[in-house]
Structure 1
Amino acid sequence: MDSARFDDFTDIDGLLRLPRLAGLAASPGGERLVAAIAQADEHGSRMVSSLWELDPAGERDARRLTWSDKGESAPRFAPDGSLLFSSARPDPTGGADEDVPAIWRLPERGEASVVASALGGLSLVAVADDGSLLATTEVLAGGSLDDDAERRKARKDAKRTGIWHTGMPIRYWDHEVGDVSPRLVLVSPSGELRDLTPDADTVALVNASADLVPDGSAIVTTWTERVAGGETRSSIALIDTASLEWRELLPATAGEQWSSPAVSPDGTRVAVTRLTTSTPTDTTYDFLELHRLDGGDPVTVEVGDVTITDYAWADASTLIVVGDLHSRGAVLVVDGATGAVRTLVDDAPHAALAPAAEAGAVFALRTDMATPAAPVRISLEDGSSASIPAPGRIGELPGALEWVEADVDGVTVGGWLCTPRAASAAEPAPVMLWIHGGPHGSYNAWSWRWNPWLAVARGYAVLLPDPAMSTGYGHAGLNRGWPRLADVVWRECETLLDAVLERPGLDSERTAVLGGSFGGYMTNWIAGHTERFRAIVTHAGLWALDQQHATTDAAAQKVRVHGHADELPDWYRAYSPHHHASAITTPMLVTQGNRDYRVPVSEALRLWWDLVSGWPGSPESMPHRFLQFTDENHWVLRPSNARTWNEAVLGFCDQHVLGAEPVPDALA
């Protein structure tokens, strides 16, 4: 494995083609461990996931289990020891539609076969002790599992594409909402489907999170309903799988909603996240609670500054929790009866929890700013961690990683500084300031989309701050700078930048600022408020807030917090970047995906028009550029597009920060 480690960060394509671990499944006894690993196809046109057998003891190399062109994902172990997964791979028997995923079973010895399929696809959610499965599918709006095939054929033959909307939401992330009704189905061990939610409309189970009581007698699921003002509220429902009797377990209110139910292995408790409703003075706060399914007072779990990202039951009395903490991460053990918390790990973020309580361990994917997600085995007793061999390891980095801090009005603001090895007082490195998205996010983990080491290999130092509203600093940290006050975030980022620029190995004259999503909003706002940078890169950034707040897929939350421009003209005048377009003198690279519904492409189009129409010189002398991806969403995911994006971003910065040749009008 070590001999295959990647260390040439000047090779953008090579980095983007590395295997990426995306999920784990462990058998109850911990004797088997399977990972879902994604890798670019031959042309870089898409990522394809396959399943690999890992050695839980960490002694043997990984072994690939599946090879189909369509890929396999979401592995889970069945009670009989076979491996379940989702795939749209061809069915040798001809029984499954190859355009949508079916549920497959791979025995320890032998070939995989289809367990169940549906025209709306099947995604595995949970496995009961008797071998029955909880899965998600979808039917055309107004239909059922029984008539879905006929209705889909009629719609396809007539080439009908209309969607009849009766309220909000109508979009989510990169797809339309309203043409299909998501459903939860119970799949028997023989593959028969039973719709557990026949009364669900087109929004009730959109992005639902659900779990199956281990004996298969009931499911616990989020249930979303429309309310006045374009808002929705998500409750927790308990549904009997035999009678389909529906009971609201945890009702939503105007002030709080619920998400992420996880049922304990003995079927007595459910761990859930309670989310408060954001307001103009307070952001959304998350609280982890443990509720008994038969009633009683809940147990609230106190996690301190940790911002929870995931949790899973190890056994009937032990919940494993992971989250962001102080620009790193933590793994916590929670007593299911009392809510008492014990810290196992606090050095890095972890994800894809795969508990194996019988083995006294939990498997997870560990990452940090210098290491992509890699499998580890963590002892539930003392938190000791052991690495497990897997593809996609990184070798030597092209520079050093260091934690830096600065005091901003009595608040300590920190961030990661990546410095090229060649930087010195004689040859100081140019500096990039990267501002993260969210705004509730953190620079604490490896990123394939925004990877600072590509810039470091090019000779840049990269500063990655965690300013106001970053995760992992408790509720006070999340709310500092709310509601998305650009000047507060900018002051903290600039103060930290000025502090590191005092170092003799960094060049304070050659600097650039980059950001995506909320970070893109920040770079757009910064462009109209300072001339200190030589280049600005903005990806999927908010430009005209009066426009974006009402057209994003999260419009209800945005308008609830920020109101309308005619109601708060001073706030919009101060914080909407488009009001400061005439002050922009720094060359800007605008990048955007057309399928982005979180920050619609109209933001980039309007920004681009303001830049082009406001340029006083000849068109050929204009320094600004616009890189548009017609098939990408809020993120640039296709490997070939990611390569283009990185080459364009680095080339644009080279041109304006280092004085290199201009980026060609037509990219290769």
Structure 2
Amino acid sequence: MATTPFHSLDDYLSQPRIEALALSPDGTRAVLTVATLGKDKTAYERSLWEVPVDGDGVPVRLTRSAKGETGAAFTARGDILFVSARPDTEAEEDAEQAQLWLLPAAGGEARPVTRLAGGVAGVTAAEGADVLVLGAPLLPSADSIEADARLRAARKKLKVSAILHDAYPVRYWDHDLGPAAPALHTLDLTGFADTIAVLVDQPEDAAEGDDQDAVTPYPESLPRPRTLVAGRGAEDAGTALTPDGKTLVAALRTAQGREGRYRLVAIDTASGDRTVLFDEADTYFEHPVISHDGATLAFVRAAMGDPSAPADQELWVAGIDGSGARRIADGWDRWPTSIRFDRDDTALIVTADQDGRGPIFRVPMDGGPVEQLTRDDFTYTDVDVAASTGEIVALRSNWMTPPHAVRVARDGTAVPLVSPVALPAVPGTVTDVDATAGDGARVRGWLLLPPGASAENPAPFLLWIHGGPLNSWNAWSWRWNPQLAVARGYAVLLPDPALSTGYGLEFIARGWNAWGGKPYTDLMTITDAVVARPEIDETRTAAMGGSFGGYMANWVAGHTDRFRAIVTHASLWALDQFNGTTDDSSYWQRIFTAEGMVENSPHRFVKDIRTPLLVIHGDRDYRVPIGESLRLWSELNEHFAAEDGTIPHRFLYYPDENHWVLKPPHAKVWYETVFAFLAQHIDGAEFERPELLG
């Protein structure tokens, strides 16, 4: 029997993966961020590789450090910027926080650009000047970067971790907010060059009498960041610099009661003066990009949703000063996932979910019709336009192919670039499937089939429900990978029910404020169509999902007994409890009516569950807090535990994982437990407890 890396979890987890792409200013080089499993197999290490865009040559590894490198970007001169916690030989102690580094285009070792106590979270570079904008947090009472360093050192010395909040929210996905708040800083690289440090001995009589609270000056050998905006108002939904680096346009958060909306603000990088360009109540202005000539601004405008209907996400353009604002692609019923200006600034190059794919589109600035450039079965990300040729460079993936770099011609033809990562063989095949819902809507998905599935040898069936819910099964995922199930003989259905993106606003609206309605019936409709196929064994079926998919798995469990087993990961169980404990309560309370919150809560149907459930949750999941699964597990035991305490359900708990379960050994245990649970209930096998669970 042929094997692939997906037949062994160890082989799968060892697969290198491309995570990001950055294109050089002249469009001739692309830098890829590549993650590889570390020697101890407990985490992934990241390095930067350079590949030529013209298709010739070989990949060249640029960085190599134990701490790894991420966030690659280019300066106007072609130097490579990246973020890393690698050792800085001139620092007083090993770095705990990641800093900004620069790798010269002319060659030589990478050198540090910053030495900030709170580290650097990201960088935006001007297209035609040596000006950068850094995201680097500051403690709220710090009036300088030196004061920030002193305050952090004091907290560290006394092991103080307490955080005082005066605004909502207090957590985000997998981490606590605070005590530091976001800040944006400008930094000028003009004249920045290597220097030779001269060590000066401290006088012997100064050691005892030093003021421990004295502020250590920021190194004169490094360009000094200058703070433009700090605090909760510096939280951003995208930043862009004009080519000359003189103006930063940022989508900055502004309070709206306990909620926050984003407004577009222009900031003079020399003076720090700010001008609000666009701001409306109950409206988000996000993802600004600036034309190559610096004259035009493009952005996404979206009203906040409410229970009546989902809000559209609109493409807008305006002058760099906010004048002449107008919507383009009006009537184009797709949501932009990325925006770039075309080489000549006459159009936007946009990606968007569409029909289970993620094509590249060209949106003319003159109001002309949207042109779809790619028509293959891939989803494109990290899209940029080569200045030298106008060709598009991007990553692309689908359920048969992990992310890899390609060059895309204007006729949509995509040519893979040379790569440091070989594409792995996959075990099965993929088919586009659809069905017609009761209201006439087309419901589609991807069906992955294992080798040998036939009428004579039908495969067991696994319904895998996506999260979101505003999402689509249209791109490869290293975390949720159906090829692992295919390698074990399952036919896997990846459906896009109501609420999924890429099918228009009306399709999303079908499930709005009614998660247990058409999203559920859509899933059952397309499941009916697929299990009727001769190569599927309709008597051996299971369902699973995470996040919203976990919510839907819980809903399925309370409304049908057609499946032999259900896996529910990081799931919403009691919506009245969830909406007050999640990290962003206001959003969820805003999109549901009070009645909808009650009617669509899975916990109301616990007594109707007849299918064994495998419940999985991480305690550091703040988007769907652990309380959801704790209550689910409690109520399953309340209603289904036997006198001797036994129960057909199981609970896999991770004290130190978040929404996704990211540590490689934990991911291995996750899959081992899931497949053991499925084998037990679908095939009648003895449950095989993963060894690492003790």
TM-score, L = length of structure 1: 0.94
- 2:350 aligns with 321
Evaluate the alpha carbon distance shift between residue 87 and residue 490 of structure 1 in structure 2; reply closer, same or farther with a 3 A threshold.
Answer: same
1:413 equivalent in alignment to 2:443: yes
Report the AA paired with residue 413 of structure 2: S
Rounded to whole Å, the distance in 1 between the matches of 2:131 and 2:304 is 36
Rounded to whole Å, the distance in 2 between the matches of 1:208 and 1:143 is 24
Rounded to whole Å, the distance in 2 between the matches of 1:592 and 1:264 is 44
1:52 equivalent in alignment to 2:49: yes
Specify which of 270, 288, 310 is matched with residue 297 of structure 2.
270
- 2:454 aligns with 424
1:637 equivalent in alignment to 2:662: yes
Rounded to whole Å, the distance in 2 between the matches of 1:449 and 1:110 is 36
- 2:364 aligns with 335
Rounded to whole Å, the distance in 1 between the matches of 2:612 and 2:659 is 23
Contact 2:550 2:569 in 1 (8 A): yes
Which protein is bigger by CA-based radius of gyration? 2
1:279 equivalent in alignment to 2:306: yes
Contact 2:187 2:226 in 1 (8 A): no
1:446 equivalent in alignment to 2:476: yes
Contact 1:141 1:180 in 2 (8 A): yes
1:245 equivalent in alignment to 2:243: no
- Measured after TM superposition, the shift of residue 337 of structure 1 is 5.1
- 1:21 aligns with 18
Contact 1:535 1:587 in 2 (8 A): yes
- 2:375 aligns with 346
- Measured after TM superposition, the shift of residue 501 of structure 1 is 1.2
Rounded to whole Å, the distance in 1 between the matches of 2:404 and 2:535 is 33
Give 3-state SS (helix, strand or coil) of 2:636's partner. Answer: helix
Point out the more displaced range, 274-283 or 187-196.
187-196
Rounded to whole Å, the distance in 1 between the matches of 2:685 and 2:261 is 53
- 1:506 aligns with 536
Rounded to whole Å, the distance in 2 between the matches of 1:392 and 1:618 is 55
- After superposition, give the CA deviation of every residue in 1:635-662 in whole Å (9 maximum; x if it has no partner): 1111121111111111110111111111
Contact 2:352 2:360 in 1 (8 A): yes
1:98 equivalent in alignment to 2:95: yes
Rounded to whole Å, the distance in 1 between the matches of 2:3 and 2:115 is 39
- Measured after TM superposition, the shift of residue 619 of structure 1 is 4.8
- Measured after TM superposition, the shift of residue 338 of structure 1 is 4.3
Rounded to whole Å, the distance in 2 between the matches of 1:170 and 1:533 is 39
1:193 equivalent in alignment to 2:218: no
Contact 1:240 1:246 in 2 (8 A): yes
Contact 1:217 1:242 in 2 (8 A): yes
- Measured after TM superposition, the shift of residue 240 of structure 1 is 0.8
Point out the more displaced range, 100-109 or 242-251.
100-109
What pairs up with 1:56-67 in 2 under 5 angstroms? 56-67=53-64
- 2:556 aligns with 526
- After superposition, give the CA deviation of every residue in 1:492-537 in whole Å (9 maximum; x if it has no partner): 1111111111112211111000011101000111111111111000
- 2:134 aligns with 135
- Measured after TM superposition, the shift of residue 664 of structure 1 is 2.1
- After superposition, give the CA deviation of every residue in 1:126-150 in whole Å (9 maximum; x if it has no partner): 2222212111101112223241011
Rounded to whole Å, the distance in 2 between the matches of 1:460 and 1:419 is 7
Point out the more displaced range, 538-547 or 122-131.
122-131
- 1:617 aligns with 642
Evaluate the alpha carbon distance shift between residue 247 and residue 396 of structure 1 in structure 2; reply closer, same or farther with a 3 A threshold.
Answer: same
- Measured after TM superposition, the shift of residue 572 of structure 1 is 4.2
Report the AA paired with residue 276 of structure 1: A
1:297 equivalent in alignment to 2:296: no
Evaluate the alpha carbon distance shift between residue 395 and residue 24 of structure 1 in structure 2; reply closer, same or farther with a 3 A threshold.
Answer: closer
Give 3-state SS (helix, strand or coil) of 1:80's partner. Answer: coil
Identify unmatched segments of 5+ residues in structure 2: 193-221
Specify which of 12, 35, 39 is matched with residue 42 of structure 1.
39
- 1:153 aligns with 153
The percentage of aligned residue pairs carrying the same residue is: 40
Report the AA paired with residue 550 of structure 2: G
- After superposition, give the CA deviation of every residue in 1:560-616 in whole Å (9 maximum; x if it has no partner): 22244xxx3xx4443211111111121100111111111001101111111122224
Evaluate the alpha carbon distance shift between residue 170 and residue 563 of structure 1 in structure 2; reply closer, same or farther with a 3 A threshold.
Answer: farther
- Measured after TM superposition, the shift of residue 221 of structure 1 is 0.8
Contact 1:56 1:388 in 2 (8 A): yes
Rounded to whole Å, the distance in 1 between the matches of 2:104 and 2:161 is 41
Give 3-state SS (helix, strand or coil) of 1:14's partner. Answer: helix
Evaluate the alpha carbon distance shift between residue 609 and residue 506 of structure 1 in structure 2; reply closer, same or farther with a 3 A threshold.
Answer: same
1:120 equivalent in alignment to 2:118: yes
RMSD value, Cα: 2.0
Report the AA paired with residue 366 of structure 1: R
Specify which of 315, 329, 332 is matched with residue 288 of structure 1.
315
- Measured after TM superposition, the shift of residue 665 of structure 1 is 7.7
